[in-house]
Structure 1
């Protein structure tokens, strides 16, 4: 006999991503070799088109303490401004077979620094009105203490004109809050863009509800 469902079902228990997120998702960082294909934080290949760059940063909690076991994923367009996904149907923008546009990294257990070697993306058309968006990289952050991954973006400080017209940045009413998404450029052996992420506090990074 089938029992009737109760009027109200209890919410399924949840838990945070840690502390074993590295073993399951980036095992090579934890010293394990368990996957046939390991997706790393290096997105470029020798024939990938575009300017080679490094993006890096650290993550701080609400007490301004360094979070050392963070998982960061990025998703970005190629140098022509097109995503390597069938849903991207922008006309006149070519795919780059040598660039998947997606990567995963963990923060260093000692320094807390996460980083990717990639290319600077081109401008992508927005969904509404096809307005061009400033070059950017989409980030997703997970760590112990976080029940739901936090999506945000990294914009480039040397794209000031494009940033000023970006439809997503302009949704953020407080200009000072927009600055939490702008990565500064440092001239090193490889051009490097640095963006620290703050989970809480007066300088909290802008996260998106997607």
Structure 2
């Protein structure tokens, strides 16, 4: 007797929906559920390195800010080490600073669309292929209208030499497209601020990675 196999159909894709903030960042949405929100503190108070603020907008295809976006950031510390056991090495000599999470989650302001987080500037990171990558912060972006989360990177304009040699940036053929990954450095009230606007569509669309 031949048994008939029934295959399940693929689940339809869905956008993040209006309730993503309640589930993933309830405090920012006005719901005091947790004493400390998961991923709220990226670097911690004991992390060495230059303290920076990263901020920007997520902009749609007609140039308007998107005001219901959630962003997750993942980065190495100032020595280029991630808070992950595999990055510590077999002898655990490559450790991170006490309290360094290297991961954070923010949402855009419901009125202005601005997003921001405070951290330390990451150092160069050794890639899996043995090539050194320029200092960068990984971003994952979800919102209504985005069926699949978008992955991109923030590089820093004052790391021009490292950026020129970065193996990921060099995968991008056009210089104008590479520029969409570079955050602009500024000083405000004695603090370092990097500006990084994310464009979802249009002529200056930010480079997104399929990972």
Work out whether residues 41 and 115 of structure 1, in 8 Å CA contact, stay in contact via their aligned partners in 2.
no
Superposed counterparts of 1:1-210, under 5 Å: 4-6=4-6, 9-39=8-38, 41-89=40-88, 93-128=94-129, 130-189=130-189, 190-210=191-211
Which runs of 5 or more structure 1 residues have no equivalent in the other structure? none
Secondary structure in structure 1 of the residue aligned to 2:176: helix
After TM superposition, the score normalised by the length of structure 2 is 0.92
Indicate if the aligned counterparts of 1:80 and 1:94 stay in contact, CA closer than 8 A: no
C-alpha separation in 2, matches of 1:139 and 1:59: 12
Give structure 2 stretches of 5+ with no counterpart: none
Distance (Å, rounded) in 1 between the aligned partners of 2:26 and 2:45: 25
Q: Kindly provide the CA deviation profile for residues 23-47 of structure 1, in whole angstroms up to 9, marking residues without a partner as x.
A: 1100011110113431354423332
Once the two structures are TM-superposed, the CA of residue 96 in structure 1 deviates from its matched residue by: 1.3
Q: CA RMSD in A?
A: 1.7
Give the alignment's TM-score, normalised by structure 1: 0.92
Change (3 A) 1:10 1:46: closer
How many residue pairs are counted as aligned between the two chains? 206
Tell me which stretches of 4 or more aligned residues in structure 1 moved more than 3 Å.
3-6, 89-94
CA distance, structure 2, for counterparts of residue 89 and residue 49 of structure 1? 17
Checking the alignment, whether the CA contact within 8 Å between 2:154 and 2:183 is kept in structure 1 is: yes
